[in-house]
Structure 1
Amino acid sequence: MLFELMAPFYDWFIKVANVDHSRRMPEWLAPVEGMEVLDLGGGTGVNARTLAGAGARVTVVDASRAMLDRAAAKKVPARLIKSDAVKLPLPGESFDIVLISDAWHHFRNQTGVVHEVARVLRPGGRLYIIDFDPQKRKTRFLALLEKLVAEPSNFTVPGNLVEMLRQAGIKGDFHYLTANQFIYKGVNRPPAWPAPEHNGCGQGTTAGW
């Protein structure tokens, strides 16, 4: 419901909140030219437009019809699909890159999302997650604000996220972009990486790249 209401001014909001990293996405996700990119929770297509401009073939999946309608109205050069992130209407091993930017903490079933990401990523494909560390004061304030507007958040400690993804066969690490925002980069089933485990999530590290 929140994003249905925010859609008309979402692009303005992320600029004011200083969380619009779209201009740097081609650099952070390089190489992107010729790559099949899934922008999961991609909303109004802010990142998709920049990545497409850098030569990527982008698919945006979002649960909000209003956000996708906004992307369509802006003529974002991407395939736009309305879908829940835990049941993607996409074939397996069909993407070179999956991007989840400022959307991870909105997913209720994060384990299900991880399994879907691992399914649609090609072997050696790359996953990027940009989100906020709940251990930081600014993130706790953000979580309170989102709760007040009926959008409960599910922020994940970065080290725990690393371990959760490792158990799904995605090996990676993270570093901080700001005092409370981090970027995770992982590789799906890299060479010589053991098969995914299926036990519970453990405690990860907080080492940078």
Structure 2
Amino acid sequence: MDTIAPRRPTPADRVTLFRAALTACCAVPAVASLFTGGHPGPVLVLLGALAFLLDAVDGAVARRTGTASEAGARFDAATDAALVLVLSVATVTVVGPWTLAIGALYYVVAAAAIARPHLRRPLPPSLSRKLIGALQPVALLIALLPGLPAAAAAAAPAVALPLLVFSFGRDVVALERLHLASGPTARQRHQVIRRAQVR
């Protein structure tokens, strides 16, 4: 298991932490709506939109202060995923339970990475990956706008979900190909080590 060394929170971390707190606030009406069957309300939309917009701030703060790090990027990604999950839960009573797939997909791939650790490898930056990722909370927030007809509310998530599946699928395929390409060399090194231990 990877260990995370203690470190002092950076200014960007504080912004991300504020986003995480906003996400937690969104979770309260989102979960409550599952029990009442009603609309989560405009407060969730406002808080969710603020948490989404601040996503552009923490990265800019990290770059400006020279404190960008892998740990900060992981914290940011985890907060993004949590926000999308909460918003997908909130849309269940508005659009339908199928929107949960939008929020769950990140965690499905993360769970798969436990059995296949190479899925955690970093990939080259991709503009399409960023755009598709940013589309998910936008689509869910649109669906949560009060007074929107059911068909209109479902339209944005219906477009966002296939794009998300495509993006994750493309990345998983790329990582699997990299793993297969490096497999024989890795196995040969392992065999050499085992032979040396036997001797």
Bigger-Rg structure (1/2): 2
More helix per residue: 1 or 2?
2
Instruction: Bin the TM-score by the shorter chain.
Output: under 0.3
- What is the TM-score normalised by the length of structure 1? 0.25
What is the TM-score when the length of structure 2 is the normalising length?
0.26
User: Which structure is higher in strand share?
Assistant: 1
